[in-house]
A = this chain, B = another copy of it.
Amino acid sequence: MSDITPRSLRWRDSAPVRDEEIGRDDPLFVRAAARTMQVLSAFHGAEHPMSLSEVARAAGLDRSTTQRIVHTLRQLGYIQRDPRDSGYVPGIRIYDNIFDAMRLNRLIQPAVPLLLDLRRNVNERVDLSLIDDLRLVYAARLPPKREVLHAMLVGLGVPIYCTSAGWAVLSRLPEDEARDVIRRSDRKQYTARTLIDEEAIMEKAAEASCQGYVIAEEQLLPGEIGIGAAVVNAEGRPVAAINVTALLSDWTAEEFGRAVGPALVQTVSALNRR
């Protein structure tokens, strides 16, 4: 079974609903809702449609409980049976939620035309991502004219510690928070050049801080070069990031920075503080 993303591109470190989060000492915390979402998020990183027991295991719930919740979610359209291979998969109803999320997101709406402008200028892949603790989640993704497969990876999460956009985000955080993010990341060595040393990463953040953007070479995928900048809100806190990605075979880092950097900074500053 092929996948819409190459194997190397599937990061599993998206944060699932953790078991410990349930049963917390919070009178307002309704466990049933958490259980429901645990079931829904049981599909994280799954390779195949999942059987009931697999869902239960992934959700950390009893098989009986899982059964009833799955049954309910199925009736509501949030879970379906896979038509061929037997097993459960997320249902179409989910798509409604993502559409609502994008529609109500104050950042995405004004960003789209600006991203299109940027793409027109630089003619490489342009991404807008939102920040989720340790990772960036693609919210919009414009492929370059030269089409690659990644047309629709909205929802994919990439780590902050080893991406250009992530470094740009770090540069806008107070130092202690930035270091905290880095430390809590499980720094995997995706390529030989992936930075995992805290100081090295902070140095990249510093670079982003003074230039407004920062370039990452081969951090997640060999042969890939990225340039990223962070979007901040009215309080100056980072809320999103934009990055442009290209192939190292087409650019040197210096050329890439000179060609794309200014346009990127301009796009980001148009979105800042809104």
Given contacts A29-B71, A33-B72, A49-B104, 9 further A-B contacts (CB under 8 A): A4-B112, A5-B103, A28-B72, A83-B106, A89-B104, A94-B101, A95-B157, A112-B149, A154-B154
Check if A34 is an interface residue, CB within 8 A of chain B.
yes
The residues of B that contact A32 with a CB separation of less than 8 Å are 30, 32-33, 35-36
- Tell me the chain A residues, 129-155 only, with Cβ under 8 Å from chain B: 130-132, 137-142, 145, 147, 149, 151-155
Chain B CB within 10 Å — which of A39, A105, A149, A239 has the most?
A105
Quick one: CB contact mask for A78-94 with B, threshold 8 Å, 1 for yes?
10001111000111111
Number of chain A residues whose Cβ lies closer than 8 Å to a Cβ of chain B: 89
CA distance A34 to B110 in the complex (A): 34
22 residue pairs from A and B, CB less than 8 Å apart: A3-B103, A4-B108, A4-B109, A17-B76, A21-B75, A32-B36, A33-B35, A33-B39, A33-B73, A41-B100, A43-B100, A44-B100, A46-B100, A46-B104, A82-B104, A92-B131, A98-B154, A112-B151, A113-B149, A116-B147, A145-B145, A154-B154
A58 CB to closest chain B CB (Å) equals 11
**Is residue A241 contacting chain B, with contact meaning CB distance below 8 A?**
no
Is A67 an interface residue, CB under 8 A from the partner? yes
The answer on a CB contact under 8 Å between A130 and B92 is yes
Number of copies: 2
Say whether, besides A71-B29, A104-B89, A110 and B37 are in contact (CB < 8 Å): no
**Which chain A residues (14-44) contact chain B, with CB distance < 8 Å?**
14-15, 17, 21, 26, 28-30, 32-37, 39-41, 43-44
B95 touches A137 (CB 8 A): yes
Say yes or no: is A1 at the interface (Cβ < 8 Å to chain B). Answer: yes
Cα distance A43–B99 in the bound complex, in angstroms: 10
Q: Does A191 contact B (CB under 8 A)?
A: no
- In the complex, whether A102 has a CB less than 8 A from a CB of chain B is yes
The answer to whether B84 touches A106 (Cβ under 8 A) is: yes
* Distance between Cα atoms of A72 and B156 in the complex (Å): 24
Residue of B nearest to A65 (CB): B30
